């Protein structure tokens, strides 16, 4: 059952905890939490991030409490890096990965425990999830000086307050102080802030030590009257106004891509003229996952990453990368229904498939009913690689280090060295003997490649500097364009988030509320 309001909590005698909550989703919670983690780490404070329950198909691999590899949300992985601590699933003990037909895969302590609909989750899994979240928090609070927790969505969702694990429950079992964020870009910020404070459970409302306005553009003095009024009416101090900025942290989910029928372009603001750039097209699969794979690529000067609807043409594309997917067979059907398979077959440039995208590129998928109930035993793939994927009940989740020999793939020519990434997938992919002489097995043998097609299970493919640069070189060469100079190296996203928070948030007051010296 949900916890009752109390004056004491699990970790009151260990680490003070700050819950970064919001009036809604996408108000900047992840960025502010990461920035605070880096600021505290820079001051010599042992700090750990925490999010009791996350909903995202952008996952990372980290160690579980049992010392095995498991899945966790990408935001807490990034926040752990910001905090300079080893990412573990304790920082995100419950992960819900949305899949088809309103269901989500439930991941507890890094391990997938089943697929459930939303209503069923609260009936059959929620108590287990809450117990896992409390245990994970207790371990973190015992090992660190401070915990910076991140809420989910809005903190005052009155239909969910009796089972709100990431906000209400966390605030109570962690005895957390609360920093409340509101996004002014959406309009109605002061009303949202006031209404949220009014609708919060009284015991949570008493925990609010301050609020901050995020994503502001313009003259900050225009907010003075509103700030003074909200402080007078609520008694909650406004601790800062953060300008609109993107430090470059990984996106938590694909909502940031906008509506599915729209084209979203990353990397088009780097100052490189379009005629000196290349366009890497990523089809917007209905069940797309791990879109964070492409963010490092989009930060390369002269590279535009375009997420296009399935019905869009490939006109102007210099390369195509098929992303990961939560349902390979379902998205294969969607690709065919939109005619994307024919357009890809006519495309003459480099093609890459990552994880589910790799499976899509093969000749066929067998035992498909394991992933998609009701699917036939064998489903034909896109046929760009002579491989076969067979689904089974076991899910592979691990971090891997592989050796790269550039001669193994035309898309990685000249690249040599070790690359570290991670794998999260069902199914095993094997080479068929239809075209053995034209196919290589790069990246540790768990991939397949021809001169201009590469399929791999390795997530984080473009995180590695050498491998990313080798692929970009290949795309520019294929497009017969000269790659522009790299220019200055981009700032660390963790440092950028810390600078944003330090410059525009009253951290002295915030840290004092946690009992920390400024």
Q: Could you tell me if 140 and 50 are in contact, meaning their C-beta atoms sit under 8 angstroms apart?
A: yes
* Residue 17 to residues 87, 134, 137, 288, 476, Cα–Cα distance (Å): 18, 13, 10, 34, 48
Q: Among this protein's residues, is 459 annotated catalytic?
A: yes
Nearest residue to 277 (alpha-carbon basis) of 310, 248, 306: 306
Q: Are 58 and 16 in contact (CB under 8 A)?
A: no
CA distance 227 to 320: 48
| Contact assessment for residue 497 and residue 36, using Cβ atoms and an 8 Å cutoff | no
Half-sphere exposure for 84 (CA within 13 Å, toward CB) = 13
Structure tokens at 434: 């239809």
Q: What is the DSSP string of 165-189?
A: IIIIIHHHHTT-EEEEEEEGGGS-H
- Pairwise CA distance, residues 442 & 448, whole Å: 6
**Rama region for 453: left / alpha / beta (φ>0; ψ in -120 to 50; rest):** beta
Residues 99, 330: Cα–Cα separation, whole Å: 10
Residue 492 neighbours by CB under 8 Å, 6+ apart: none
Backbone angles phi, psi at 211, to 5 degrees: -135, 160
Count CB atoms within 10 A of the CB of residue 143: 15
Q: Catalytic: 144?
A: no
Distant-in-sequence, close-in-space partners of 50: CB < 8 Å, separation ≥ 6? 17, 76, 90, 91, 92, 136, 137, 140, 147, 148, 149, 150, 170, 174
Residue 365 burial (10 A CB sphere; 0-12, 13-18, 19+): buried
Please give the DSSP secondary-structure letter assigned to residue 50: E
From the list 26, 144, 425, 459, the catalytic residue is 459
The CB-side HSE value for 215 (13 A sphere, CA atoms) comes to: 16
Q: At residue 387, what are phi and psi to the nearest 5 degrees?
A: -130, 160
Active-site entry in 37, 355, 425, 504? 355
Q: Kindly provide the residue ranges of all beta strands, DSSP E only, lying in 341-441, ordered along the sequence.
A: 351-354, 364-366, 378-380, 387-405, 416-431
Which residues are part of the catalytic machinery? 355, 459
């Amino acid at each position: 059952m949900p916890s009752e309001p109390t004056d004491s909590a699990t970790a009151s005698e260990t680490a003070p905890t700050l819950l970064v909550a919001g009036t809604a989703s996408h108000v900047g919670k992840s960025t502010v939490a990461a920035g605070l983690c880096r600021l505290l780490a820079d001051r010599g404070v042992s700090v750990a991030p925490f999010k009791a329950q996350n909903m995202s198909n952008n996952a990372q691999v980290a160690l579980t409490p049992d010392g095995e590899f498991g899945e966790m949300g990408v935001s807490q992985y990034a926040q752990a890096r910001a905090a300079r601590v080893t990412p573990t699933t304790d920082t995100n003990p419950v992960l819900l990965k949305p899949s088809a037909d309103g269901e989500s895969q439930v991941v507890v302590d890094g391990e997938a425990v089943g697929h459930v609909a939303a209503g069923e989750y609260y009936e059959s899994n929620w108590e287990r999830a809450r117990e896992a979240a409390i245990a994970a928090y207790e371990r973190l609070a015992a090992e660190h000086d401070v915990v910076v927790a991140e809420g989910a969505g809005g903190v005052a969702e009155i239909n969910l307050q009796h089972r709100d694990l990431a906000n209400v429950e966390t605030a109570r079992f962690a005895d957390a102080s609360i920093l409340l964020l509101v996004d002014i870009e959406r309009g109605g910020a002061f009303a949202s802030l006031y209404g949220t404070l009014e609708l919060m459970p009284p015991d949570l409302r008493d925990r609010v030590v301050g609020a901050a306005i995020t994503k502001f553009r313009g003259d900050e003095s225009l907010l003075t009257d509103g700030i003074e009024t909200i402080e007078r009416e609520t008694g909650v101090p406004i601790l800062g106004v953060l300008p609109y900025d993107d430090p470059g942290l990984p996106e938590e989910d694909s909502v940031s891509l906008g509506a599915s029928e729209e084209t979203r372009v990353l990397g088009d603001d780097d100052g490189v003229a379009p005629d000196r750039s290349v366009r890497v097209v990523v089809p917007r699969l209905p069940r797309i996952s791990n879109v964070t794979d492409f963010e490092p690529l989009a930060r390369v000067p002269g590279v535009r990453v375009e997420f296009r609807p399935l019905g869009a043409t490939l006109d102007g594309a210099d390369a195509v990368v098929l992303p990961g997917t939560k349902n390979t067979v379902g998205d294969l059907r969607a690709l065919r229904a939109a005619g994307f398979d024919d357009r890809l077959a006519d495309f003459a440039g480099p093609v890459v498939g990552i994880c589910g995208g790799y499976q899509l590129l093969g000749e066929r998928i067998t035992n498909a009913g394991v992933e998609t109930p009701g699917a036939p035993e064998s489903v034909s793939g896109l046929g760009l690689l002579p491989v076969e994927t067979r689904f089974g009940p076991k899910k592979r989740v691990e971090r891997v280090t592989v050796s790269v020999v550039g001669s193994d793939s035309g898309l990685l020519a000249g690249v040599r060295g070790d690359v570290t990434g991670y794998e999260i997938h069902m199914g095993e992919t094997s080479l068929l003997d239809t075209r053995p002489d034209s196919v290589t097995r790069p990246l540790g043998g768990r991939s397949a490649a021809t001169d201009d097609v590469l399929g791999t299970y390795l997530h984080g493919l473009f995180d590695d500097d050498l491998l990313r640069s080798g692929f970009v070189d290949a795309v520019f060469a294929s497009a017969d364009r000269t790659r522009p100079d790299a220019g200055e190296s981009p700032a660390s996203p963790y440092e950028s988030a810390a600078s944003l928070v330090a410059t525009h948030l009253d951290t002295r007051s915030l840290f004092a509320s946690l009992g920390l010296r400024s």
